[in-house]
Structure 1
């Protein structure tokens, strides 16, 4: 009994994005398990592989994570000997995050995983890139 079709679940962009996010995370899980990472830990590692040594504040901004979420992630990555944290010698308030040699070595496995994920998506790579760019634009628009 749909009095307002514009409110139908299947017509909601938010619901489509929610389901796509869940499906993507579910698809990543077995691959990430092989790496010994959760998805949030994986995005931290992606950032560190890309940018190298990063302070916690910048890392949180880059990943849109607050310190209450990021700090436990970093503690677990540190316990797994993938990252190291150290206070900046010039400003003790700043904590810098470094990849350990074990964390650096994991990058190659992640690259292999990315190739497997592209195969799982079974789509035109250019269409996937276009979708990613559209989602980035939507995020930027909604974040204003």
Structure 2
């Protein structure tokens, strides 16, 4: 086996793939989040929607999709389930009836207090300092943005 072939083999090793490191880390996060979110009655994608609404209530569906990088076809069933659970309400915009506004119900607002324990539990599970996690998050966000720019520019 020549040097070139050995180098190619190294490039194609699973353990050398950043995409696999991120993919498997996401699965590990999901396993940690699952029992925490089950206590709240939420799936992980529903939790993300609620995080957006806890930051800013009464937002257009489009804004939630942009924040979460989800299209309306993916987001609509999620929102329907949150509405059935009594956590949000969907209404048509008064100025533009095509616009759908998403707002928290009193039950959705109340769930925020129960959710406050989730980030602390995640922090504990990582065994990282707050500073380490912030730095790691910033690097991952920068990588995501560069990848999105590369896909958008091709």
Structure 2 distance, partners of 1:125, 1:45, is: 22
1:77 maps to: 82
Cα-to-partner distance string for 1:94-139 (whole Å, 9 max, x where unaligned): 0000000000011111111211221111112211110000000001
2:129 maps to: 124
Structure 1 distance, partners of 2:121, 2:18, is: 28
Task: Give the aligned CA root-mean-square deviation in angstroms.
Answer: 1.3
Residue 48 (structure 1) aligned with residue 62 (structure 2): no
2:105 maps to: 100
Q: TM-score, normalised by structure 2?
A: 0.90
Structure number with larger C-alpha Rg: 2
Match for 2:115 among 110, 115, 119? 110
SS in 2 for 1:35: coil
Q: TM-score, normalised by structure 1?
A: 0.96
Deviation larger for 104-113 or 92-101: 104-113
2:152 maps to: none
* Structure 1 segments of 4+ aligned residues over 6 angstroms from their partners: none
Identify unmatched segments of 5+ residues in structure 1. Answer: none
Structure 2 distance, partners of 1:62, 1:128, is: 20
Deviation larger for 14-23 or 108-117: 108-117
Residue 5 (structure 1) aligned with residue 10 (structure 2): yes
Structure 2 distance, partners of 1:14, 1:120, is: 22
Match for 2:38 among 33, 36, 41? 33
Identify unmatched segments of 5+ residues in structure 2. Answer: 150-154
